[in-house]
Structure 1
Amino acid sequence: MTILKSGSQAVGVEQDVVLARQTTRKLAVECGLRLVDQTKLITAASELARNTVIYGGGGDMDWEILQEEGRKGLRLLFRDEGPGIPDMKLAMTDGWTSGGGLGLGLTGAKRLVDEFSVDSAPGAGTRVMICKWT
């Protein structure tokens, strides 16, 4: 796997959620993702950026445009130093929401992308990685 381009942007306030969505759209187009895949990735990124602001107290969205075996992908990593997710099993339960978001939650974001991982522990912040491939 080759990283063609990478960067990072702060996701600390509500306006940054909009900027994260715009950045994701721009990068998804640059990768050559189909419109439906762009929409799925932007929707997942929006939910995760909002979670970073609301529940994580703000953080960052790191991004990488990847190339592997003739295909391109966009990988996003949302990271914060917030309180962490106290009950990962509950957070990954379909239909569960803590309220305030788009109602997708982590499981909704997971269904929208090709790759998904979450790493969190109480007091240790949260890192959620998503990736969509052409």
Structure 2
Amino acid sequence: MNSEEDLVRLRHAVRAATLQAEFSLVDQTRVVTAASELARNAFVHAGGGTVAIEVLRHTDRRGLRLTVTDQGPGISDLDAAFTDGYTTGPGLGHGLGGARRLMPDFHVRTAERGGTTVVATRWVSP
């Protein structure tokens, strides 16, 4: 993901994956929004990155996992980064915290000058 066009393609790919996983329309929107926010963060703050999209099927559960990885400067204050309104760039400061609220299973690994990886999973509601 290195351009605005890549972000558009990502949104389409995530939407297709949510359809494959049989998410409701509301949950499709949640997952696509979270993917867009996470990818935009990697693009803006790290100059780009990669996104892996996995449709998950475990016996009686279906879900989707997003893994967003960049090689940027890392997040120096992770607690602050989750706070609405906190930003180190041109945005409104809702991206990381908003994505975490949209994706119930959410993990961040970050290292100063070592990049950041976000793994976010949402399961289809019964």
Work out whether the TM-score is over 0.5.
Answer: yes
Structure 2 counterpart of 1:108 = 98
Give the superposition deviation at 1:95.
3.2
Relative to its length, the structure with more strand (as a share) is 1
Structure 1 residues 17-76: Cα deviation after superposition (integer angstroms, max 9, x where no partner): 111111000000110000000000100100111111111111100111111241111101
Out of 15, 30, 53, the residue aligned to residue 5 of structure 2 is 15
Q: Residues 106 and 61 from structure 1, CA distance in 2 versus in 1: closer, same or farther, beyond 3 angstroms?
A: same
Structure 1 residues 71-115: Cα deviation after superposition (integer angstroms, max 9, x where no partner): 111101000111111111211223323343464221110001121
Q: Aligned partners of 1:13, 1:50: CA distance in 2, in Å?
A: 9
Cα RMSD (Å) = 1.4
AA aligned to 1:91 is: A
Structure 1 counterpart of 2:49 = 59
Q: Aligned with 2:113: secondary structure? A: coil
Q: Aligned partners of 1:103, 1:84: CA distance in 2, in Å?
A: 16
Structure 1 counterpart of 2:20 = 30
Identical-pair percentage: 46
Alignment partner of 1:119 is 2:109:
yes
- Kindly indicate whether the alpha-carbon contact (under 8 Å) linking 2:84 and 2:93 is maintained by their aligned counterparts in 1: no
Alignment partner of 1:97 is 2:113:
no
- Kindly indicate whether the alpha-carbon contact (under 8 Å) linking 1:97 and 1:105 is maintained by their aligned counterparts in 2: no
Q: Aligned partners of 1:129, 1:103: CA distance in 2, in Å?
A: 19
Structure 2 counterpart of 1:82 = 72
Structure 2: 5+ residue stretches without partners:
none
Q: Aligned partners of 2:83, 2:59: CA distance in 1, in Å?
A: 34
AA aligned to 1:66 is: L
- Kindly indicate whether the alpha-carbon contact (under 8 Å) linking 1:96 and 1:105 is maintained by their aligned counterparts in 2: no
Structure 2 counterpart of 1:39 = 29
